[in-house]
Amino acid sequence: MPPNTDPDNDNNVSPTPLLFNDVYFNSWVKSLPPSPPVWAPFTRLPSELRLRIWHLALQQHRMIEFDLQPTADEANIPNYADDNDGPRYADRNHLGRIVSSRNPSYTCSLRGRGSFSPTLSVLLRVSREARAAALSFYHIHLPLSTGQVLYLSPEYDVVYIRRPIVYDRNPLNTMLVDFLHDARAYDYKDHGIRHLALDVEFLRYLIGFWLGSAHLHPELLHPAAATSFADILRHKLRSLLCVTRFRNSSRYKGFPTIGGCARIHFAQTFPLRRRGHSTGGFHWLQADPRPGVELDLRQVLLPDDPRFLLQNWRKMEHTFGVTRNQQPTRRENDDDGGSCSFYICPTNPWSKPLPGHFVIDRAAAREAAAEADAVWSRDELAQYLEDEENTWYKVRWDWARLIPMEYRGALHQSPKYHYSSEEEAEMFKAMEKLPCTTIGMWLFPAEALPEPTQPRIHAFDLSALRPSLLLFQV
């Protein structure tokens, strides 16, 4: 039976690329008061009011994705205590700030072709006054290895360091520390990166998954780098987002039940990973507003137990002399201080796998995957959702054949959702009517995660939590 005639689907239509993102942002735009494209008296406003209007136009959260790669010379240096091109942490930039080196240990690049242009605000080219406002708002002016300058706002931008395409693990610790130090050195307000996102593989290597396995500690760094990093941890970094995936690449899950049989469930509120340009606007919703989230969170399978990552992060902080009671409580509009919030951010990858089962050149495979990840279209999303629906339909029939006869009665297709009450059944109907598929990621405070319900497979019941939702504009 094709997916568009599924009896469990009240709408009986093929999946479309209509997302919760579209519903939310269309509603958000409509809620804004209308404004004319040109307002002639603008130049007659007081300069303070014009500046306020420019800054309101700039206040947009963005996630900027970076690749950090070791330079050719640095890849062969074991601990970076010395620099072949001169002393480290001794040279100064045009602001008079000390930088990591004349020739940094890393190259910093944005993901995807044509990814630099979207980072530039249009206000940089409107007028001198608007450009001055934009340069004040984006007060990190970070030079890239391409010779371009990246403008960042510490308050509104999340810097997402992806797992490098090709890398030698040894330089990763110094690359990250040097990058964070230099971002602060090129910030004339001395804030630096405040919101940092790291792939779980990157973070797991830096701080270790097992006790004593961390690769980031003061002895591996130049003394000035260790001091700088400790100050960043203590006073500058406000949030760390650990970006991970769900244990299964699909959104349909198996649920163990009493009696040894199983039920399956389609978790359509599980967020899909953002693809496309390495720069994108987002809204950070304090609580995911979609119906049925708590039902999908009854069982969340993760690649590993993220509570250990939090424990090792705190241990790593301690090695740099940073402890929880040393970090001042954050105050609103406090520009210097505040504890760093640690979030676990699951999101589901949805790009198609690379062809073939055996990969000889792993570096080339990662590069091809990164290139595929940087490009997508609505048609591709529609095809993915259709393939997902077809596979889901087949899985439900296959699963029904595995259920023991004493539990299933006559052979029939498993239902699309399993529910325990009429309230849950009504919730699933509401989820069918409102597009619940979203491009984004959940944010769970790591401190709030409960004990796993099944430690062996890292299964968690998170239904008592209401995660934040980082929702991308697509």
pLDDT band at 18 (very low <50, low <70, confident <90, very high): confident
Domain boundaries, the chain: 59-248+270-377+439-472
Q: What is the pLDDT of residue 263?
A: 56
Three-class secondary structure of residue 357 per DSSP: coil
pLDDT in tens, 148-162: 899 999 999 999 988
pLDDT band at 147 (very low <50, low <70, confident <90, very high): confident
User: Which of residues 308 and 328 earns the better pLDDT score?
Assistant: 308
Q: What is the pLDDT of residue 374?
A: 61
pLDDT in tens, 69-114: 777 655 444 445 455 545 789 899 999 999 998 888 888 888 666 6
Examine the pLDDT at 474 and tell me if it is beyond 90.
no
Using alpha carbons, select from 118, 129, 20 the residue that is nearest to residue 60.
118
Q: What is the pLDDT of residue 235?
A: 92
Calpha distance 380→406 (Å, rounded): 42
Q: What is the pLDDT of residue 404?
A: 57
Least confident of 218-222, 325-329, 414-418, 449-453: 325-329
pLDDT in tens, 26-72: 888 777 676 666 666 778 888 889 889 889 989 999 999 888 877 76
Q: Which residues contact 383 (CB under 8 A, 6 or more apart)?
A: none
Q: What is the pLDDT of residue 190?
A: 94
pLDDT band at 333 (very low <50, low <70, confident <90, very high): very low
Least confident of 98-107, 115-124, 431-440: 115-124
Calpha distance 283→224 (Å, rounded): 37
Cα-only R_g, the chain? 24
Do 414 and 261 contact (CB within 8 A), yes or no?
A: no
Q: What is the pLDDT of residue 184?
A: 96
Q: How far are the Cα atoms of 142, 180, 280, 308 from residue 146, in angstroms, in the given order?
A: 11, 18, 21, 38
Examine the pLDDT at 8 and tell me if it is beyond 60.
no
